Structure 1
Amino acid sequence: MHPFLIDLDKVSYTPEGTSVLCDVTLQASERRIGIVGRNGSGKTSLARVLAGLVAPSSGKLRINGVDVVKDRKAALRQVGILFQNPDHQIIFPTVEEEISFGLTQLKHTPKEAAERTADILARFNRSHWAKAAIHQLSQGQRQLVCLMSILAMQPRLIILDEPFAGLDIPTMMHLTRVLHAVEAHLVHITHDPAHLATYDRMIWIDQGQIVQDGAVPRVTQAFVAQMQEIGESDDFTHLPG
């Protein structure tokens, strides 16, 4: 058993010389962790680093003791990521093929993968989706397929990168209920702290660095206050750097 589920030590990410994350150090094991920040603050890059999809330029990263960049097979059992746009994640034409793929990556036999796929669909009362063509599903339905694909693999940690972007309110409410019941640890990345009200811990990131880290009400209050201050200023006159 490792002391922290998430362990980042001075992690920086500088693709093509641009500093996106700078010396991020974080240890966390809470069941529900929220990460907030403005667009361009480095949130999505942090999500991709945590999931092992991109390698840090410097520093060390472990998820449950596993180097998720170097050991991709072990990483599949530790961490999954739900992207903002499900179309960036889905690669197969039918629901059952999409869910089964990750299971075959974990070296399950085709029979085992089929059984697990049927189990996860039944758990969500979506058995009738098995043969459905994914392109015919709504964005919210495709997002649920992606989540079921991840849950079927039973990772310890699931990273959610703006999972409600583009969803209407009823779909967002349904996905919220589904996520609330998920047993895995969640790291939920968003620009809207309202989605994180029930979470155990909140981390505010800005310009690739942790600005504040702690209890949700305290960090939310500070974050919202600064966002309101920025909103009241003439922020749109500045050219992006």
Structure 2
Amino acid sequence: MDSSAAPRVRPPPLSLLAIEPVRGLFTLAAATFRAHCERVGDGHPVVVFPGLGAGPWTTRPLRRFLIDAGFDARCWGRGMNMGPERDFDGWIDILEADVRRWHADSGRKVSLVGWSLGGIYARELGKRAPACVRQVLTLGTPFAAILGATRAERLYRLLNRNAAPLTAELEARLRPTPPVPTTSIYSKSDGIVGWRGCIEQAGALSESIEVRSSHMGLGTDPQVLRIVANRLAQPEGDWRPRTT
């Protein structure tokens, strides 16, 4: 994929959007019975960023799963994700300071897991502070194409009336892959984000993994949880793309 040009991506059909809440609730219920984890982690810090309009409660099942799997999983610590609280670069400056503090406090590189818009933050932080970031994973994050490619743009504008609008120039800046191991998890049945905008360029340090999930279910789907734990368990300095 040419990182200089956005792929032509349409938003998901309204039929998929309409059933997102029901599918998300079903996935949450299924996770209660099926999300069994193996202890594969090495205890390194993992910070989870929620999606647009979502808060810490939405990422609690994922964080709890990762803690049980042996990681030091924690919330991003900034409450509900209402979008950038100022201009985009100023907002990333604030989050970068958080990453550097987490790194200094733990003495270890930090892995970043971002859901939807939270994944945009995670990717940019991987670019800003690669010496502090061990790995980046995104769940349903449309970094390759955002404008006109999601069903969340109206909500973004509503929550960010005073923020600078997303521009084609900023969209182009978001496409390049961070210089750290990066995994994009996406679903072709996502009802909010056009899945083609979530495809990462395949490389020695990057991959895209398809799952079957709703957008709202990406943080609780048992298959997704196990994939996230598997990728986070890759040895530092010896990360390899998933082959199965």
Q: Same fold (TM over 0.5)?
A: no
More strand by share: 1
Query: TM-score normalised to the size of structure 2?
Result: 0.34
Query: TM-score normalised to the size of structure 1?
Result: 0.35
More helix by share: 1
